[in-house]
Structure 1
Amino acid sequence: MSRLKGKVAIITGAASGIGLATAQLFAAEGAKVVATDISEDALARAVEEIAATGAEVLTHTLDVSSPESWKSVVADVTAAWGTIDILVNNAGIALAKGLLDTELDEWNKVLAINTTGTWLGMKNVIPSMRTAGRGAIVNVSSLGGIISGAADGASAAYSASKGAVRSLTKHAANYFAGDSIRVNSVHPGPIYTKLIKNYGVTKEQAADAANSILPPHIGEASDIAYGILYLASDEAGFVTGEELIIDGGYAAH
């Protein structure tokens, strides 16, 4: 398994869910993984399992909405491994409130993490990629950044933040293609992660509510991780500015 052999990959929100599944898969495919998260204890537990497989992995506490926090991560990674080949902007939060019910501080928090965090990640990592003359960035958006209704979990702020990530991805893809930096977005549909579980929803309930057409009607974090792996790998060398929807057919009807 060597689709990412020797590549250095920063993954945000790596303590659980899609981020953890991606970190595990990248490590299995030979990447040097930089696992980051704001939850230091959860991150330590997660990375302990990855390190036990013999993979090369670093951990770094990261508040994606903080420029200083990003600068610290990039400095530490380049000092340790010299370069950054892959960035996966995955960290995010949701808020189950509609447009009229959302308060300004709630709105600002969701956009600070989901959108500003993605922008800051690219802003701080792209200079290193430019120096190396290559790079792959995968921004985790959402089906809720394309369509509304159940796809955005009734969250106006989440929908807006993920729509912004979708557009920002295309902007970056255009402006940095000349540097051989590819930038793509992944748009998960109904995936059973800790984010959903925290709302008190069981996997069975989530599957019943999902509008996917492929049984078992709700995906796993690993389903998204495999899509991220493809876009980050050299196999996607001619792919940039694209939207990879992984939703079990949700958007097909």
Structure 2
Amino acid sequence: MSLKVSSVIGPHAAYGFNEAVEHAVNQLLPVFRVARENNTFINLDMEEYKDLHLTIAVFKNILDRDEFLTYHSGIVLQSYLPDGREALADLTVWAKERRARGGAPIKVRVVKGANLSMERVDAAMRGWELTVQPTKEDTDANYLVMLEDSLTKENVDAVRIGIAGQNLFTLAYGVLLARDNGLEIGTEVDVEMLAGMATPQANAVRDDVGPLLYYVPVVKPEEYDVAISYLVRRLEENATPRTLCRTCSPSKTAPYSSSKRTVS
């Protein structure tokens, strides 16, 4: 089950970080307890840059508690955030210390991120310095570096990696890197794609690598349109032009455009 910290606390004051963490933890503790009792895996997802450190703090706060020492849970890191690599290194050190205390490993699902264009537009409208990767190319490069940092025998005992995305080159790169480092797909490393998107490609990946983890929107039958809108959003991200403005520098972001940058 994947959920976002922002979904349980709503808008909060940026200067009230500690209070926001405490509030989110209190909201999520009952959910984590039910998940632990029912052997259900929880993955803390995130979207915007402003959610990165909050999500990590909440994740650590919960799993540092004795009652969750042996509970296996995960978190998402996005390579369109420049801090993604540093955050992965920090979580790896923390997870190894947790393992040394007899704790369960964690999982990090590595994605490219779905909000690069939104962050660019928001920065341009408010006159802010861009805090995320300036281009799709930078995002892709950071993704590959994060995979190279993490897909080693030394790290996977504490941090299981989910190679997530729809881009076949990226998935192939991650799979070959894992195999070259002697890692087993499905037990030490996961390959993840979206159900309902590029099904023939997903089938080809499954036939080659074996176990494939699908991400699926789950809604009540009467709210099925929400699931469709989720998949339409993903389709738009994967089918629209790669750039918003080829001549724009990071500090001079293109004006608002309805198109989204391809990020997977």
Q: Shorter-normalised TM-score: what interval?
A: 0.3 to 0.5
Question: Whose relative contact order is higher, 1 or 2, with alpha carbons under 8 Å and at least 6 apart?
Answer: 1
The structure having more radius of gyration, on CA atoms, is 2
